[in-house]
Amino acid sequence: MVRLAGKVAVITGGSSGIGSATARRFVGEGARVFIMGRRRSELDKAKALIGDGLSTVAGDVTNSADLDKLFATVLDTEVGLDILVGNSARVESEMLGKTTEENFDATFKVNARATLFTVQKAPPLIRNGGSVILIGSAAGRMGVPGYSAYSATKAALRSYTRTWTREFNDRGIQVQHVEPGPDRQSHVGTSARRHSSPRRYHSTGWAAPKRSQPLHCFWPPMTAASWPASN
């Protein structure tokens, strides 16, 4: 079933990893997808992999002019936007005693600040009933040694979700927070598994909570592209 036929989606950090997997799934479901990333070589690889239905925009989410270029590119061919996926992030491991101001500031600049200003620019384009999806991390709710700054920025995304759900309520725009489990290949995933109880971690990632979580979803690694992003 082509569930996203006629929908238009923007994905930041869309040239690799979860962003690329999401773009591929969305195009397969019939959406027209625009991805943004800093490295042209990776964008070209994503375009070659996904093909028609995907447009690429080279840019830095921390640069306001680049964000303006991203949304202007969408409006060059489309009349509106249905889905915005905020996926751009940086991570660098530093234990508390060795955390530098440079790493702290750079991590918050990409993961927290840029996410806010990306979403700030989107509402004039997003059609009523659309979706804003923030890609969080299991690290945002659990203690992972060496990732104080990264984990704090991912916790901030949960707060954004609760706040923006109220702010966008009158337009029926859904704000969703997705928490992929730690990827086996990621530094965060390796550290999380090393410092966690083996009963809580499974081969497919962190188990879903038994209680329902109304403001966010919880997914195993690399399956974030499978949620129904828009009705």
- Residues annotated as catalytic are 150
CB atoms under 10 Å from CB of 137, counted, come to: 28
CA of 181: how far to CAs of 141, 202, 207, in Å? Answer: 11, 10, 8
- DSSP lists the bridge partners of residue 36 as 12, 57
Q: How far is CA 37 from CA 63, 140, 200, in A?
A: 12, 23, 34
Instruction: Tokens 């489990």: give the residue.
Output: 181
Contacts of residues 90-99 at CB distance under 8 Å and 24 or more positions apart, as own/partner, are 90/150, 91/147, 91/150, 91/186, 91/187, 91/188, 92/150, 93/146, 93/147, 93/187, 93/188, 93/191, 94/146, 94/148, 94/149, 95/145, 95/146, 96/148, 99/148, 99/149
